[in-house]
Chains A and B, each alone.
Chain A
Amino acid sequence: MELFKALNLFNQGKYEDCATICTNLLKKNPLDQTVWVLKMRALTLQIYVDDIEGEEEGIAESLLDNYTISSMPRPGTSLKNPGTSFTGQYLRPKTQSGRPLTGVVRPATQSAMSQSIEQTLKTPRTAMTARPITASSSRSVRLGTASMLTEPGGPFIQLSRLNISKYASQPCIAKPLFEYIYYHEHDVRYALDLAVQATQVCQYKDWWWKVQLGKCYYSLGLIRDAEQQFKSALKDSKTIEVILRLVRVYVRLDQPLTALETCKKGLEYFSNDVNILTEMGRIFDSLNNMSMSLKYYKIIAQEDASHTEAIASIGIHHFYNDQPELALRYYRRLLQMGVYNAELFNNLGLCCFYAQQYDHVISCFERAISLSTDETMADIWYNISHIALTVGDIIMAEECLKLAIVSDNRYALAYNNLGVIQIRNGNITAARTYFHAAANIANFLYEPHFNSAYLAYKVGDLQTSYIAVQKSLSTYPNHADSKTLLNKLERYFTYM
């Protein structure tokens, strides 16, 4: 009866109560494998986190990564150098780490795929702290910290005393035990040991063990070994999870085209699977191929009409495609579904503004500010400044920009716009200071470079102008105004 109760609680998801009953049962009969396994499962599920989505590339991985095949990839074949071959929305604003804005914040869009150590170290991973993410191993410790908690009466399973080879030969126990070690104890080394022995016991026939081996290798950073295991598992059995993991491996290896190929193969088996389509949408997005990304997000929205990421991504695409009315519809849909946060109201406000529904703009931004956290506050003020600027209220725009800087003093675009306002007010020196500050904070933005070049050109400081316009063109090679300015300067220099 006790066991029945425990099993029921387990099925209902009340893992803590289940574990307590199991502990009592184990006190009576410590050798009962059934109860042991049930408790193990309960403890695992208590802190289980879907680790496919939860990864974030840390500073160690992005810096010391030696798996990348070519250091100077051709444009369009790498996530680090997405290239500009796809025309369209290159003018999308960029996040703090210098990546174009995406519809939702999703794994690995926070970290910058930076080329140099300096940039990696400089880039803040969150808005408020400048601390970069450390290695991913420590990240996974933070996701579920059960291994850090001391349990009364010692840990449930002493890993160091565990007879791994004995349990590896019992498939009923080995699999829950592996999940316990991997997810609850976060001890990849023991997990790997168990997986190796178990896969030998079943003569390399069980694809599940191959996937687990791959997971272990991946979290240890042995990407190529992980790829092998996942591929071998896929040969045995096609599962969505393995396809997703393999795609992650290729993204990590910076081979987006192979990743897309894998996705397409996966779609042959699981037609219209949302997860695979999402991966494809994301990869195209980070390759700056917005139209393909949009196509996949649309398929997702048809398949799963309540998919937040798809709706938000389509919305943002329409917004930057000068169709604010369409974007507004998508964002309203999100609101109706119950998404209620500062970002959404901010976007709604902007859409309303560009769709000329001015009556909603103020209330949207009021809501956004009342819901905002420290991280989003600066963005909202920046957007309000934009509206003030468009309305013609320069004083308010300046105030808003200053508030944005108060919330986040590394907000490069706000500095840039303040500089523009200062030019308009006639304070050349202050303007130049702002442009320089903006350029120093975010060297991936071309605006401050171009602005300071233009300012220097007007003032007559041709040398500074020349240097700055070159910087502008190196971040955005096709910027027409920069090109014109450069031509003018070159003509001047040849006359001289």
Chain B
Amino acid sequence: MSLFKTKEWWRTRCGANETFDRHSLLAAPLFGKERHDILVVGSHDGYLRMYKPSSQWVDETKSPTNYKSTDLMIETRLDDCIVDLKAGRFVSGSQDLRLAVLTASKLTVFDVALVVESNEYGLPLGDRCELKIAYEHRLSKFPASLTVGPFGGVRGRDFLCVQCLDGTLLFYEQEVFAFVQATRNRLLAEPIVYVPRYDLFVAASSSWCLECHRYQSMAEWSRNKKERISGSESDANNANNLEPDSTYNVGEAVLGIEVVTLSSFEVGIVVLGERHLYCLRDNCASVKYAKRLEYKPLCFRAYVIEPDGKLMVLVIADTSTLMIYEGSTLRWSAQLPFAPVTVARVQLEHLHGVIVILSADGRLEACYLGSEPSLFVAPPLHPRGYDYAAAERELSELRAAVSSKSKQTEDRTSDAGTDAELTVSVNASLDSDRPLTEKESEAEAETEPRPRPICNVAIELSSYATLDDVQVCVDVSKPLLVTDDFYALPSLCERHVAKIRVYLDGDWPAFSLDVSVTVTYRTDAGILRAVRKTSQLPLKTVLRSCPPESTASFVTVVKSDAPPLAFTQLFPEFSADQCQRQGWNALGLRQVHTGQTVTVVSGNAGNRYRVQSNDGLSSVLVVRRLTDRWGGKSEGRATAGAPSVGQNHVRSVHRRIDEHFAARREIDRITKEIGLLTSQLRNVERRMLRAARERNEGSLADTGLPFLFDRTCRAIFALLEDLAKARTVRERAGHELRCSVELLLLVTRWNASDEKYEVLRAAIGFEPRPSDRLDWEETADAALTALLESTKSTSSETRCSWNVLTPIASVRELNKLKTRLAHAIGRLAGTRESDIAEMEANDVVEST
């Protein structure tokens, strides 16, 4: 992020497809100060180029003259790879600057000679230069960098130090090889710098510390080492490594080190780490200042502005932004045209203090900062202007459309408002340590050792405004019972929490754990509203884990494309109870109140589960939870958890229908008999009355009427008892019918489309309600007939006849019902139609 862009002064491109690194650029006044800095660029492909940028400002065009072909002084190939370039007084007896080039195999020092040429008219053709080898050293290892300086404090001469890739330092006192110094703590070549004032080498180590070595001590140590080797092996411990004079723990990898002379008595060591910029004092042990960088730096250059000794640092971020810091304060930032690998500050002929940058692919540019901001201009939105009149027209059209629909939208918003008006939350939790009431504890002590679980359900009503006449109904399906299934609040303010308990009663199979809470209330405006909320009780209310049973008569297979899940994921509540056998693939669940065991077995081969039980009705709950959870956890609902409709499901429903029907007929029979007996009783009474009126009391006993009366009464009472029994039998049969229908529906649900499923559910999935003549069978029959007719593919006319509810009297009619049911299932499930139809035909034959 910067306001400015750098201005181009001079630009060229070095070679094609050559690579450069941070050591590839050298700017030095090779031909004396008056001829200014020469740019020397060495590439990894071995080419050496020297440039003398002659760009100057042209007032007419308001631009610099930029690159001219005469700026290139020499282009030559030296070796296969140029690693580093340095300038210095490398030849003894001469104060002229020589160029030292470090290539992959040798270190060469060149004499650089300037040839000034001009054409016949005396116009300058540009300077040319020639390279002559002064001397060279062969290198045994691959070098990484070159450091030069008056090591040991010599006057007027510069020595050379080559760092190899493994960190070994080779010292050359000009033409003579001095010594080799292996370094401790260094795996790779790291930045190294020489501080002439203190005759000190500052280098980073691989353990992210700065280490300072005095040249003198290194030289002495290596001399001693030679003596030691030539002499004896005494003092072997000391032989390996030289301890650094001082260290500073930077704590991050170091990208570069530079030395600047701040004043005549102060030297600063500027260190660029991966995340920080440090300026160390000359003793290399304390920080002058540090700056945490909020970007990843690429390269940097430190320099001092002369008169007042201000230390400036150029840092280039990886967003190719140039930052110029004075101390830790940002003085300027500008955007560079590309991301460079190295940067230098150069004095050119016509411009001083130019920033020269070199990119990895050889783009070389000299640029200056310039004070004219390059403002960011947002791209225009409407390239051809904006037609406000058309927009106005469109807006008015749209508004008309909206206002015509506004009635409906208003309704919807008020619907949203009702949600906000009353919030109902139902929270069910299993009560483990409840206080047992007396009656319960007695009953449990007799019947079973473990107490039946009781579920606490907390119903929380919260509303913002006050609501009146709040009535709460709680509904659970049998055999669950609720302590308080209805309560009313005269007015609800803010929040109300009611705690009710749900417990099991009787030994009927459970098929649903839903708790539905219906709340009706009246708003201030006098409108009655109702909110329904359904929640599920925990599975443990009804089921317990037990050892799985291997054989069972009733099996439901649930299979799917989705990968099967472990039982710990499907039934996490039971995984704790079960002993954690490795790879258990069967789970036994026992119904608490009936004692029936349901076993869930996961198939080894395919993606399926088998739910088996001796009693089909017990497995409803397990199958429901299994499909819900499996389907919920895996992605696609349609593909996951589809149990297949088996014959056993339909057969189970048929059996229940038979039972229920038999119970009804039993009741009918008893009712009829009672009818007969009561008419008989009435006749007897009439006779007795008549006899009494004739006042021959003596003869009353003789007629035997009292005896007959007695017997009839007794018979009626006996029949009434039977009737009560038959009623409970019917209720139970009705519940079981509901259960099996529920299982059938559950199984159908995954095979049929949602719409069809809803239709079927509406047709048969309701509670049997005993009434005089009509019961489940009749209603279901009528509904199924209608369903079959509506889904019949052949009949094109959509005839919707209202079937008259006729009481089913005979087994034959009942069989028709069964066939219709089978057909309906077959039609919905689609694929399995033929299967079931055949089976049904057999079934019908059997039962008739």
Q: A4-B165, A172-B185, A303-B328 are in contact. Are A433 and B413 (CB under 8 A)?
A: yes
**A34: B residues at CB distance < 8 A:** 166, 187-188
On whether the beta carbons of A463 and B466 are closer than 8 Å, the reply is: yes
**A464: B residues at CB distance < 8 A:** 465-466
User: With the chains together, A357 CA to B621 CA distance in Å?
Assistant: 69
What 6 additional pairs, Cβ within 8 angstroms, besides A1-B104, A7-B189, A338-B1? A7-B188, A208-B251, A244-B292, A270-B328, A337-B2, A437-B420
On whether the beta carbons of A240 and B208 are closer than 8 Å, the reply is: no
On whether the beta carbons of B249 and A207 are closer than 8 Å, the reply is: yes
Q: A13-B296, A13-B298 are in contact. Are A433 and B414 (CB under 8 A)?
A: yes
| Distance to closest chain B CB from A16 (angstroms) | 15
| Distance to closest chain A CB from B435 (angstroms) | 28
Per-position binary interface string of chain B over residues 520-534, scored 1 when its CB falls under 8 Å from any chain A CB and 0 otherwise: 000011000000000
Within 8 A of B (CB), among A356-377: 363, 366-367, 370
Q: A440-B420, A461-B524 are in contact. Are A1 and B142 (CB under 8 A)?
A: yes
User: With the chains together, A125 CA to B291 CA distance in Å?
Assistant: 33
A211 within 8 A of B: yes
On whether the beta carbons of B21 and A335 are closer than 8 Å, the reply is: no
**A126: B residues at CB distance < 8 A:** none
**B410: A residues at CB distance < 8 A:** 430
B572 within 8 A of A: no
Which of B185, B276, B399 contacts A240, CB < 8 Å? B276
B290 within 8 A of A: yes
Per-position binary interface string of chain A over residues 251-281, scored 1 when its CB falls under 8 Å from any chain B CB and 0 otherwise: 0000000000000000000111111000000
Give B287's nearest chain A residue, CB to CB: A238
**A176: B residues at CB distance < 8 A:** 206
Q: A306-B333, A439-B464, A440-B464 are in contact. Are A7 and B3 (CB under 8 A)?
A: no
B421 within 8 A of A: yes
User: With the chains together, A4 CA to B189 CA distance in Å?
Assistant: 10
> Which of B44, B251, B376, B524 has the most C-beta atoms of chain A within 10 angstroms of its own C-beta?
B251
On whether the beta carbons of A395 and B399 are closer than 8 Å, the reply is: yes
Per-position binary interface string of chain B over residues 136-150, scored 1 when its CB falls under 8 Å from any chain A CB and 0 otherwise: 000000101000000
Within 8 A of A (CB), among B407-432: 410, 413-414, 416-417, 420-421, 423
Within 8 A of A (CB), among B577-635: none
B497 within 8 A of A: no
B22 within 8 A of A: yes
A317 within 8 A of B: no
Q: A38-B188, A175-B207, A367-B378 are in contact. Are A12 and B341 (CB under 8 A)?
A: yes
A184 within 8 A of B: no
User: With the chains together, A174 CA to B209 CA distance in Å?
Assistant: 13
Q: A363-B381, A437-B420 are in contact. Are A272 and B329 (CB under 8 A)?
A: yes
User: With the chains together, A50 CA to B187 CA distance in Å?
Assistant: 26
| Distance to closest chain A CB from B396 (angstroms) | 11
**A: number of interface residues (CB 8 Å):** 72
**A304: B residues at CB distance < 8 A:** 329-330
Per-position binary interface string of chain A over residues 32-65, scored 1 when its CB falls under 8 Å from any chain B CB and 0 otherwise: 0110011001000100001000000000000000
A386 within 8 A of B: no
**A8: B residues at CB distance < 8 A:** 19, 21, 44
**A433: B residues at CB distance < 8 A:** 413-414, 416-417, 420-421
| Distance to closest chain B CB from A6 (angstroms) | 10
A225 within 8 A of B: no
**B208: A residues at CB distance < 8 A:** 175, 208
| Distance to closest chain A CB from B687 (angstroms) | 73
**A335: B residues at CB distance < 8 A:** 376, 378
**A239: B residues at CB distance < 8 A:** 251, 276, 290
- Chain B interface (Cβ < 8 Å from any Cβ of A): 1-3, 19, 21-22, 44, 81, 83, 104, 142, 144, 165-166, 185-189, 205-208, 249, 251, 253, 255, 274-276, 287, 289-292, 294, 296, 298, 318, 328-330, 333, 341, 360, 373, 375-376, 378, 381, 399, 402, 410, 413-414, 416-417, 420-421, 423, 464-466, 493-494, 524-525
9 contacts between A and B (CB under 8 A): A1-B142, A8-B19, A33-B187, A172-B185, A172-B207, A208-B208, A211-B251, A237-B251, A241-B251
Q: A8-B21, A273-B328, A308-B1 are in contact. Are A432 and B465 (CB under 8 A)?
A: yes
| Distance to closest chain A CB from B342 (angstroms) | 10
| Distance to closest chain B CB from A473 (angstroms) | 16
A305 within 8 A of B: yes
User: With the chains together, A468 CA to B421 CA distance in Å?
Assistant: 14
Give A237's nearest chain B residue, CB to CB: B249
Give A396's nearest chain B residue, CB to CB: B395
What are the 9 A-B residue pairs with the smallest beta carbon separation, nearest first? A433-B417, A172-B206, A171-B207, A437-B420, A208-B251, A304-B330, A436-B464, A240-B292, A337-B1
**B421: A residues at CB distance < 8 A:** 433, 436
| Distance to closest chain A CB from B144 (angstroms) | 7
Q: A1-B142, A12-B341 are in contact. Are A7 and B292 (CB under 8 A)?
A: no
On whether the beta carbons of B292 and A275 are closer than 8 Å, the reply is: yes
**B22: A residues at CB distance < 8 A:** 11
User: With the chains together, A8 CA to B83 CA distance in Å?
Assistant: 11
On whether the beta carbons of A430 and B414 are closer than 8 Å, the reply is: yes
User: With the chains together, A182 CA to B189 CA distance in Å?
Assistant: 25
On whether the beta carbons of B318 and A241 are closer than 8 Å, the reply is: no
**A270: B residues at CB distance < 8 A:** 289-291, 328
**A174: B residues at CB distance < 8 A:** 207
| Distance to closest chain A CB from B236 (angstroms) | 21
User: With the chains together, A176 CA to B251 CA distance in Å?
Assistant: 11
Give A233's nearest chain B residue, CB to CB: B251
**A3: B residues at CB distance < 8 A:** 142, 165
**B375: A residues at CB distance < 8 A:** 336
User: With the chains together, A174 CA to B187 CA distance in Å?
Assistant: 12
Which of B276, B318, B381 contacts A370, CB < 8 Å? B381
Which of B144, B205, B206 contacts A37, CB < 8 Å? B206
A340 within 8 A of B: yes
Q: A211-B251, A339-B1, A366-B381 are in contact. Are A11 and B21 (CB under 8 A)?
A: yes
Which of A1, A429, A437 contacts B525, CB < 8 Å? A429
On whether the beta carbons of B328 and A12 are closer than 8 Å, the reply is: no
Which of B188, B253, B328, B417 contacts A272, CB < 8 Å? B328
Which of B3, B291, B328, B493 contacts A336, CB < 8 Å? B3
On whether the beta carbons of B381 and A274 are closer than 8 Å, the reply is: no
User: With the chains together, A37 CA to B189 CA distance in Å?
Assistant: 13
A452 within 8 A of B: yes
Which of B44, B188, B249, B294 contacts A208, CB < 8 Å? B249
**A12: B residues at CB distance < 8 A:** 21, 341, 360
A467 within 8 A of B: yes
Per-position binary interface string of chain A over residues 107-142, scored 1 when its CB falls under 8 Å from any chain B CB and 0 otherwise: 000000000000000000000000000000000000
Within 8 A of B (CB), among A296-350: 302-306, 308, 333, 335-340
**A437: B residues at CB distance < 8 A:** 416-417, 420
User: With the chains together, A244 CA to B275 CA distance in Å?
Assistant: 13
Per-position binary interface string of chain A over residues 469-481, scored 1 when its CB falls under 8 Å from any chain B CB and 0 otherwise: 0000000000000
User: With the chains together, A4 CA to B207 CA distance in Å?
Assistant: 20
A206 within 8 A of B: yes
**A339: B residues at CB distance < 8 A:** 1
**A430: B residues at CB distance < 8 A:** 410, 413-414, 417
**A363: B residues at CB distance < 8 A:** 381
Give A344's nearest chain B residue, CB to CB: B378
Give B398's nearest chain A residue, CB to CB: A399
User: With the chains together, A317 CA to B360 CA distance in Å?
Assistant: 44
**B2: A residues at CB distance < 8 A:** 306, 337-338
**A45: B residues at CB distance < 8 A:** 274
| Distance to closest chain B CB from A387 (angstroms) | 16
Which of B166, B330, B381, B423 contacts A306, CB < 8 Å? B330
Give A370's nearest chain B residue, CB to CB: B381
| Distance to closest chain A CB from B740 (angstroms) | 40
On whether the beta carbons of A340 and B142 are closer than 8 Å, the reply is: no
Q: A306-B330, A395-B399 are in contact. Are A273 and B291 (CB under 8 A)?
A: yes
